Structure 1
Amino acid sequence: MPKIGMEPLRRRALIDAAIRAIGERGSLDVTMSEIAGRAGVSAALAHHYFGAKEDLLFATMRHILAELGRDLRDAVAECAGLARVRAIIAVNFSQKQFRPEIIAAWLAFYVEAQRTPALRRLLRVYARRLHSNLVFALEPLLPRTEAERTAEGIAALIDGLYIRRALKDGPPDAASAVALVEDYVTLRLGGRHDA
């Protein structure tokens, strides 16, 4: 007889195991059995909870995005203007987000989104939210068209720094990544520091 309340714990264990497996492999070329073994459950149970491997991978990306969203809402709750922009940048390069296995997962999911419509939609939702959050923060500082363009540049730098990091050895250097993006923001704001 199944233990009541175990399903959420096992689902989370499978998602965490998927992140670790993708991070170590550097691709989505992992099996459901491999992920299940890392989570300490049978492959049959993993299939019971998620169906196909693609469903588990979709749930894994949704989990990563949900955590990023929660962290972002907490970080910007009391911020406006430049402080809000900096908070958005900082969250994207936080210790929780900018770690090797999450970086590898992002890269793998970007690649897979080219073939999987559901992942493509999920990543488009993420991109639109990042863009709108940045535009909202930048509008008090720049005209609308400049805010839009600057938001696009910040998002491109964030994505690009994740890709560049995925191609390097050694631990991620979040401080350097944040500094590069903030340098771009300073240039776009023309040295303005008003929040």
Structure 2
Amino acid sequence: MTQHKSKDVRRQQLILATMASIAQHGLHNTTIVTISNHAGMSSGIISHYFGGKQGLINATVRHLFDQLKQALLSRLSQGSLSPRERLLMIVEANFTQVQRSLPATKTWISFWEQSMHEPVLARLQRVNHRRLHSNLSHGFGLLMPRHQARQLASQTAAMIDGFWLRSALSPDPQQAFSQAEVLCKAFIENLLMQYGENGCPKQ
């Protein structure tokens, strides 16, 4: 293994260890020591690769964003898709097994909480929100005027985020996530039935 690949592997291991530590201890009780214990590496390597705990937390959040982005891209690359199919794929990408996993859900929830106090995380949260809204706006925009598409995108984004959070906090998250995905898709289907291609409510 080359030195560059070895570095990438260690960085990935530390990111996964961070998620495991957050799932077990919570963000506030996650330390360089708990992360290094999960990774089976010395604590000094975290500072070497990430500059400290906060740098590693930021990298972990970016990893989750990348997983979300790749899940969507893999679905959208399946050939010619209708606008309806594109919109449903966006929902699917937000409810993959990766995004449903305990380490991911604990990390996302901790990230949202901490983003209210940490400027870097707050910026990442805004980027993530804009990405979701933009993807939905594009999908709806293939069927209706831009102003209507943006309005429906805002509603759908709120629906996805709300159902995801409710599912993550549910006593039975896996069942709740499955139901949430169905309900979010049904919400989109209802919007497309309600609004014609000109974006006006059907009479």
Same fold (TM over 0.5): yes
CA distance in 2, matches of 1:65, 1:18: 15
Structure 1 window deviating more from structure 2 (72-81 vs 104-113): it is: 72-81
Among 166, 177, 182, the alignment partner of 1:179 is: 182
Q: Which runs of 5+ in 1 are unaligned?
A: none
Which secondary structure does the structure 2 equivalent of 1:147 belong to? helix
CA distance in 1, matches of 2:171, 2:36: 27
1:88 aligns to what? Answer: 90
Report runs of 4+ in structure 1 exceeding 4 Å deviation. 191-194
Structure 1 window deviating more from structure 2 (90-99 vs 161-170): it is: 161-170
Aligned length: 192
Q: Which runs of 5+ in 2 are unaligned?
A: 198-203
2:114 aligns to what? Answer: 112
Query: Does the CA contact (< 8 Å) of 1:100 and 1:172 recur in 2?
Result: no
Query: Does the CA contact (< 8 Å) of 2:15 and 2:56 recur in 1?
Result: yes
CA distance in 2, matches of 1:179, 1:193: 22
Measured at CA, do residues 29 and 161 of structure 1 come closer, stay the same or move farther in structure 2, by a change above 3 Å?
A: farther
Which secondary structure does the structure 1 equivalent of 2:100 belong to? coil
State TM-score, norm by structure 2: 0.87
The AA in structure 1 aligned to 2:88 is R
Identity of aligned residues (%): 32
State TM-score, norm by structure 1: 0.90
Higher RCO (C-alpha 8 Å, min separation 6): 1
The structural deviation recorded for 1:154 is 1.5
Query: Does the CA contact (< 8 Å) of 1:142 and 1:189 recur in 2?
Result: no
